[in-house]
Amino acid sequence: MHLLNRICLPLLLALALCAPALANGIMLDPLRIVVPDGQRYAALTILNQSSAEPIIYNISTVPLRMQEDGSLYEPTTLTKREALTRSMLRFSPRTARLQPGGKQAVRIAVRKPPNLPEGEYMSYISVSPLDTPESVAPKLDHAASLAPKGSSMVVDVKVGMRIPVIIYQGSPSVQTAVSAVRAVRRKDGKAYLDLRLNRTGNRSSFVETSVFRVANGRKELIAHKDRTVTYFPLAARTLTLPISDPEFRGGRILVELRNYKDATQTVIDSKEFSVQLP
């Protein structure tokens, strides 16, 4: 099960980065729910994209943890914080039937316990489409026609969408810094930079990363990524960026970090490194 989660979850989350999110005829908006301090409610819209079939959906919460390479997995046991966060979330309606092209507004209530410590509390909302009587029979007939003779079991796998919900208590803060960089060449012959980002504080980190070649008092952009997430409580995150300059072989580089979508474009960390491609 862990192996299946490690394989499937990155694919699901890659789909969730597209706007809007779509799976099995279900569209979700927004893709990430943030509940600021003092706010008790949030909203999620679920749309049935199918023009032919109704959909019955079910909403639940699921804990996902980030690893240093950015992949997510579902743990077998919950921490106290994960269990607490799940207990704070309520959905109305939790289950509904959507006609083709129909949509449903879901009210998300956040019930914080008294004396909740300052910080960030995160879980994932899972929206899973269920088979309706109208859709089961045609799918079973089609699957049965494809099944080998003598087989007695048909499995119809449906994929649900998962989006993060982040709850803030008080005014949590975060600091992100780059601590190491190395230049590598992969088996495909292309050059990359492996960076290590360190997160401190009591909330998740969302940063924009830019890497420049520094020479003769000038800097030239050679690698960039708009958004890298390090979810709380993960302390360190690895990041691999392709080098855009095919002539780059090594030398002094400058790494700059900015908060994601920061209108001021303030640099929150800036460090120089010396790297050499093998």
pLDDT of 16 above 90: no
- The reply to whether 6 and 115 lie within a common domain is yes
Helix (H, G, I), strand (E, B) or coil at 35: strand
Mean pLDDT of 64-70: 96
- Is position 154 within any domain? no
Instruction: Measure the N-to-C terminal CA separation of the chain; round to a whole number of Å.
Output: 38
pTM: 0.79
- The reply to whether 104 and 231 lie within a common domain is no
pLDDT tens for 141-189 read 444 454 444 333 333 344 568 999 999 999 999 999 999 999 999 988 8
Q: Which residue range is the domain that position 27 belongs to?
A: 2-132+159-169
pLDDT for the residue numbered 13: 45
- The residue among 116, 123, 22 whose CA lies nearest residue 74 is 123
Q: Strands of 9-140 (E only): list them.
A: 21-23, 26-29, 33-35, 41-48, 55-62, 65-66, 72-73, 89-92, 95-98, 103-110, 119-130
pLDDT for the residue numbered 134: 53
- The reply to whether 76 and 198 lie within a common domain is no
Distances (CA, A) of 174 to 38, 54, 201, 239: 20, 44, 4, 18
- Is position 148 within any domain? no
- The reply to whether 46 and 71 lie within a common domain is yes
Average pLDDT, the chain: 85
- Is position 145 within any domain? no
Question: How many domains are there within the chain?
Answer: 2
pLDDT for the residue numbered 49: 84
> How large is the greatest C-alpha to C-alpha distance in the chain, in angstroms?
74
Measured CA to CA, the distance from residue 151 to residue 69 in angstroms comes to 40
- The residue among 1, 4, 13, 12 whose CA lies nearest residue 231 is 13
- Is position 144 within any domain? no
pLDDT tens for 20-35 read 455 457 889 999 999 9
pLDDT tens for 187-242 read 888 999 999 999 999 999 999 999 999 988 899 999 999 999 999 999 999 999 99
Helix (H, G, I), strand (E, B) or coil at 165: strand
- The reply to whether 122 and 206 lie within a common domain is no
- The reply to whether 190 and 271 lie within a common domain is yes
- Is position 138 within any domain? no
- The reply to whether 51 and 183 lie within a common domain is no
**Cβ atoms 54, 24 nearer than 8 A:** no
